[in-house]
Chains A and B, each alone.
Chain A
């Protein structure tokens, strides 16, 4: 019984279907039956639209969490794995195995996640039994935001007071410990909304940032460091995520590395040998024969020229698919990736900034029905 319910719960969460079929207590049924007023479907539909996004009660969410945990254990048993060490990746893998889906849109496929990730965060009920709100700023409408601004300004005033007291004592110095703000950024508007569980306008967000900047501009702001750090996120160092292909050695002791690259529909895979001649062979032909257009050869030259290793390497490449420009772009990406294993970290960073290591995301846009092409429309006739 519980297993069925768990699996049913899994099925329910597909695409977040709004199926809040909680079995109601029988009394309400009888009351509704005795007071049945015939409501036309048109009025019924209008009502639903005005309700806004669905609200889930706290007990409901708690129940969903229990069901999720039980379902996780059952799923682990089904897959024959240890329920204690069953991670989210294992869950995703198992669901993809048990419910294979051919849908293209990833978000439409069956998913089993913790309810906190699936259900939007909602504020608990803000007022008590007597209808009086708990928070003193409830009637501003955006209580979390205004309370945050109020607290921050309170801190500003406290800092000024502290400053004055230091000045009175004669211990005022400008060179206090400063906070290190490099490598981090302010919260984005979406992130702030998520934190406060409230909607904010752009204007509000700007005012918030201005207030934080004001706080930071004062001396002694290091006293409020942890408060400020709550609203800052670390910037990730991009190049640390780059995968460097390993350098291998073939029979003669020559170092070589392999890499692949893609652009539009073209796929290229190359072997870069540290020989000494600057010859390049593509699909068995010389690159002069394969790319008669100068532009393609320039694309091929770009990564080698950037690191000043033009005559040093031999390239054996095989490429298929796409047109000549796409193939040249795929080869360029593959050569840049293969060069990473022969190049220092600083040069890798500069290559990344030059755009040599970024795969080009542009692909052919889909043709839409009712239009001649992706963007081109049919001839517009006035009448």
Chain B
């Protein structure tokens, strides 16, 4: 089987020429150097691990996330099945796809003195919206942005064990555990920003505790981590600070990327109940309320990247995937205007590349799956849907 050897040769030639040229030339030279490469051998991996340099040429190819980046960027952001795959394959490979490339080009060209643009990734279940979002976040963090990533907004509107009435405002409810977890992850992601940004206002938590003006953000976060009861309020304060200070003209200016996965949770229903068994509305939760304020485009110097998700959503039918259906009237009005980016199933080329990746990783063990017939069967049974294909190959 010549495939591994050819692939190895391609990689070596690509690496040796990489230092001098940019991505475009590498690909061309790599192809020119190996004229005897049969047309069936398609390159499914690229050695370009920097999302800044990803272009159309890399569409359909897998790039590896460096492990160091992964631990800081995505302590909680990746979907659980992808994490299992990472553990099995010992590497984190993400496919470069059209929607993510589109989003990256938009982000590059956007004017950051204007109010923040809202981007909504939508598509059928299992198409790759969350992973595209992660790809874009990797790009943002390599560009030096501050990444505010809420991995799944649905986790904040359901299955909450402790629902405390808010200490600061009556009629609102706090979720200390969720807020605490999120603060810890935020701290891991944005370590280096925490000392640079200063608070602009004095926050009083209890009779004895307060955070003065001009203190570093790190102190605010620590306050939330240590005092669990006020963690939700700390989150609110944090969001407010970031909103005010993003994109400022000062030398400590940073760009803010707000990434929310499952944004339709903010305007849907919750499954949480008050003590008198009446339903809790999303507005009555502190975390949700503050997040909604964040998603309003009244601040400058950043971008709002969101994904719709039916998987964790409550009371929505399985076939719903359009923004109108999942966000509802209220959500749509709030999010309007936004840039919709559709994510679809794999194209032929992308499917080919995914199939070759699984072959390369020895994931497809059954001998029949390596034949053309087996490939056709896989195409049919999964209908080129990424998540269904992944689940299908899991037991082959």
Q: Which residues of B contact A207 (CB under 8 A)?
A: none
Q: Are B380 and A289 in contact (CB under 8 A)?
A: no
> Contacts A286-B383, A288-B383 known; A310 to B319 CB distance under 8 Å?
no
**Contacting A289 at CB < 8 Å: which of B318, B373, B377, B379?**
B318
Q: A285-B319, A289-B318 are in contact. Are A301 and B392 (CB under 8 A)?
A: no
Q: Are B376 and A294 in contact (CB under 8 A)?
A: no
Nearest to A298 among chain B residues (CB) is B381
A297 contacts which chain B residues (CB < 8 A)?
380-381
Cβ of B385 < 8 Å from any Cβ of A?
yes
Chain A 259-285 against B: per-residue CB contact (8 Å), 1 yes, 0 no?
000000000000000000010000001
| Cβ-closest chain B residue relative to A278 | B380
- Our pick among A285, A286, A305 for the contact of B377 (Cβ within 8 Å) is A305
Q: Does B388 sit within 8 A of A, measured CB to CB?
A: yes
With A and B bound together, what is the CA distance between A266 and B379 in angstroms? Answer: 27
Q: Is the CB of B319 within 8 A of A301?
A: no
Contacts of B381 in A (CB 8 A): 294, 297-298, 301
Interface bits A282-314 vs B (CB < 8 Å: 1, else 0):
000111110010100110010011001011000
Q: Using Cβ atoms and an 8 Å threshold, which residues of chain A touch B382?
A: 288
B395 (CB) vs chain A CBs: closest residue? A294
Chain B residues bordering chain A, tally (CB within 8 A):
14
Q: B383: which of A287, A304, A305, A308 is its contact (CB, 8 Å)?
A: A287
Closest to A285 in B: B319
A-contacting residues, B30-59, CB 8 Å: none
Cβ of A294: which chain B residues have Cβ within 8 Å of it? 381, 392
Q: Are A288 and B385 in contact (CB under 8 A)?
A: yes
Closest to A305 in B: B377
Query: Quick one: which of B338-390 are within 8 Å of A by CB?
Result: 373, 376-377, 379-383, 385, 388
Q: Mark B118-134, 1 if CB is under 8 A from A, else 0.
A: 00000010000000000
Q: How far is the CA of A282 from the CA of B376 in the complex (A)?
A: 20
- In the docked arrangement, what's the CA distance between A278 and B381, Å? 11
What residue of chain A has the Cβ atom nearest to residue B391's Cβ?
A294
Interface residues of chain B: helix, strand, loop or mixed (majority): helix
Q: Is the CB of B392 within 8 A of A310?
A: no
In angstroms, Cα B111 to Cα A305, docked, is 53
Looking at the assembled complex, report how far the CB atom of B358 sits from the nearest CB atom of chain A, in whole angstroms. 17
Partner of A288, one of B373, B376, B388: B388
The smallest C-beta distance from B184 to any residue of chain A, in angstroms, reads: 36
Closest residue of B by beta carbon distance from A297: B381
CA distance A141 to B233 in the complex (A): 106
**Cα-based distance from A374 to B179 in the complex (angstroms):** 57
- Whether A310 pairs with B383 at a CB distance below 8 angstroms is no
Known: A285-B319, A289-B318. A310 touches B385 (CB 8 A): no
What chain B residues lie within 8 Å of A289 (beta carbons)? Answer: 124, 318-319
Contact (Cβ within 8 A) A278 B379: yes
- Rounded to whole angstroms, the CA-CA distance of A311 and B379 in the bound complex is 9
- In the complex, what residues of A have CB within 8 A of residue B388's CB? 288
By a CB distance below 8 angstroms, the chain B residues around A305 are 373, 376-377, 380
CA gap between A310 and B373 in the complex, in Å: 9
**How far, in angstroms, from A294 to B389 measured CA to CA in the complex?**
11
B131 vs chain A, min Cβ distance (A)? 19
Distance in Å: Cβ of B379 to nearest Cβ of chain A: 7
Nearest CB of A to B391, in Å: 8
- CA distance in complex: A289, B124 (Å): 10
Report A290 CB to chain B, min CB distance, Å: 9
Cα distance A301–B392 in the bound complex, in angstroms = 15
Instruction: For A288, list chain B residues within 8 Å (CB).
Output: 382-383, 385, 388
Given that A288-B383, A298-B381 are known contacts, is A310 also in contact with B318, CB under 8 Å in the complex?
no
Q: Please indicate the chain A residues that have their CB under 8 angstroms from the CB of B318 in the complex.
A: 289, 292
Query: In the complex, A287 Cα to B345 Cα: how many Å?
Result: 14
Residue among B124, B377, B385 making CB contact with A301, cutoff 8 Å: B377
Give, as a whole number of angstroms, the nearest-CB distance from B124 to chain A: 8
Chain A residue contacts of B392, Cβ below 8 A: 294
Considering the complex, which residues of chain B in the window 286-343 have a beta carbon less than 8 Å from any beta carbon of chain A? 318-319
CA distance A223 to B382 in the complex (A): 65
Cα distance, A287 to B383, chains bound together (Å): 8
CB-defined contacts of B385 to chain A, threshold 8 Å: 288
CB proximity of B373 to chain A, nearest CB, Å = 8
A94 nearest CB across to chain B (Å): 52
A278 to chain B, nearest CB (A): 6
Instruction: Give the Cβ gap from B204 to chain A, nearest Cβ, in Å.
Output: 52
Q: How long is the Cα–Cα vector from A287 to B385 in the complex, in angstroms?
A: 12
Q: What residue of chain B has the Cβ atom nearest to residue A289's Cβ?
A: B319
Complex CA distance for A1 and B367, rounded to whole angstroms = 83
> Which A residues are CB-close (under 8 A) to B380?
278, 297, 301, 304-305, 310-311
1/0 per position for B153-195, CB-CB distance to A under 8 A? 0000000000000000000000000000000000000000000
Contacts of A308 on B, CB cut-off 8 Å? 373
Residues of chain B in range 84-132 having any CB-CB distance to chain A below 8 Å: 124
Contacts of A310 in B (CB 8 A): 376-377, 379-380
- In the assembled complex, the Cα of A301 lies from the Cα of B319 at a distance in Å of 22
Neighbouring B residues of A292 by C-beta, 8 Å: 318
Nearest Cβ distance between residue A240 and chain B, in whole angstroms? Answer: 31
Contacts of A287 in B (CB 8 A): 383
Which of A288, A292, A301 has the largest count of B CB atoms less than 10 A from its CB?
A: A288
Q: Which interface residue of B124, B379, B381, B388 has the most chain A CB atoms within 10 A? A: B381
The interface residues of chain A lying within 8 Å CB-to-CB of B377 are 301, 305, 310
What residues of chain B lie closer than 8 Å to A301, measured between beta carbons? 377, 380-381
Q: Complex Cα distance A228/B348, Å?
A: 64
Complex Cα distance, B376 from A304, in Å, reads 11
In the bound complex, what is the Cα–Cα distance between A193 and B376 (angstroms)? 56
Q: Mark A228-246, 1 if CB is under 8 A from B, else 0.
A: 0000000000000000000
Please measure, in the bound complex, the distance between the C-alpha atom of A287 and the C-alpha atom of B124, giving whole angstroms: 13
Distance between B374 CB and nearest chain A CB, rounded to angstroms = 10
Considering the chains assembled together, what is the distance between the CA atoms of A217 and B383 in angstroms? 60
Cα distance, A308 to B380, chains bound together (Å): 12
- Most A CB contacts (10 A, CB to CB) among B124, B383, B385 go to B383
Footprint of A on B, CB under 8 Å? 124, 318-319, 373, 376-377, 379-383, 385, 388, 392
- What would 22 A/B residue contacts be, using CB atoms closer than 8 Å? A278-B380, A288-B382, A288-B385, A288-B388, A289-B124, A289-B318, A289-B319, A294-B392, A297-B381, A298-B381, A301-B377, A301-B380, A301-B381, A305-B376, A305-B377, A305-B380, A310-B377, A310-B379, A310-B380, A311-B376, A311-B379, A311-B380
Beyond A297-B381, A305-B380, A311-B379, 5 additional contacts (C-beta under 8 Å) are A292-B318, A298-B381, A305-B377, A308-B373, A310-B377
